[in-house]
Amino acid sequence: MNLDPIAISATGLTRKFGSLIAVNNVDLEIPAGTIYGFLGPNGSGKSTTIRMLCGLLTPSAGAAMVLGMDSVRQSERLKQEIGYMTQRFALFEDLTVRENLQFISAVYALPRARRRSRVNQLLQEFNLMNQTGQRAGTLSGGQKQRLALAAATLHEPKILFLDEPTSAVDPQNRRDFWEKLFEMAQQGTTILVSTHYMDEAARCHRIAILDLGIKVADGSPKELGENIAYNVIEVVADNPNSARLSLAQNKSFTSITQLGVRLRVLIPKEIPDALEQVQLNLRQSQVSAQAEPVFPDLEDIFMAVTEERRRAEAA
Per-residue pLDDT of the chain (315 residues; tens, 9 = 90+): 445 699 999 999 999 999 999 999 999 999 999 999 999 988 899 999 999 999 999 999 999 999 999 999 999 999 989 999 987 778 899 999 999 999 999 988 888 889 999 999 999 999 999 999 999 999 998 899 899 999 999 999 999 999 988 876 778 888 888 999 999 999 999 999 999 888 889 999 999 999 999 999 999 999 999 999 999 999 999 899 999 999 999 999 999 999 989 999 999 999 999 999 999 999 999 999 999 999 999 999 999 999 888 887 776
The architecture (CATH level 2) of 6-220 comes to 3-Layer(aba) Sandwich (3.40)
SS (H, E, C) the chain: CCCCCEEEEEEEEEEEECCEEEEEEEEEEEECCCEEEEECCCCCCHHHHHHHHCCCCCCCEEEEEECCEECCCCHHHHHCCEEEECCCCCCCCCCEHHHHHHHHHHHCCCCHHHHHHHHHHHHHHCCCHHHCCCEHHHCCHHHHHHHHHHHHCCCCCCEEEEECCCCCCCHHHHHHHHHHHHHHHHCCCEEEEEECCHHHHCCCCEEEEEECCEEEEEECHHHHHHHCCEEEEEEEECCHHHHHHHHCCCCCCCEEEEECCEEEEEEECCCCCHHHHHHHHHHHCCCCEEEEEECCCHHHHHHHHHHHHHHHHHC
Specify the pLDDT at position 91: 87
- Residue of 90, 114, 89, 87 whose CA lies nearest to 102: 114
Determine the distance from the C-alpha atom of residue 66 to the mean position of all C-alpha atoms in its chain, rounded to a whole number: 18
Instruction: Please tell me the distance from the alpha carbon of residue 203 to that of residue 105, in angstroms, as a whole number.
Output: 30
Please report the pLDDT score of residue 64 as a whole number: 97
What would the CATH number be for the domain defined by 229-295? 3.30.70.100
Predicted local distance difference test score (pLDDT) of residue 1 = 41
Domains 6-220 and 229-295 share a fold: no
Q: Where are the domains of the chain?
A: 6-220, 229-295
**pLDDT at residue 168, as a whole number:** 66
The model's pTM is 0.89
Residue 71 and residue 78 in contact, taking contact as beta carbons nearer than 8 Å: yes
Do 57 and 48 contact (CB within 8 A), yes or no? yes
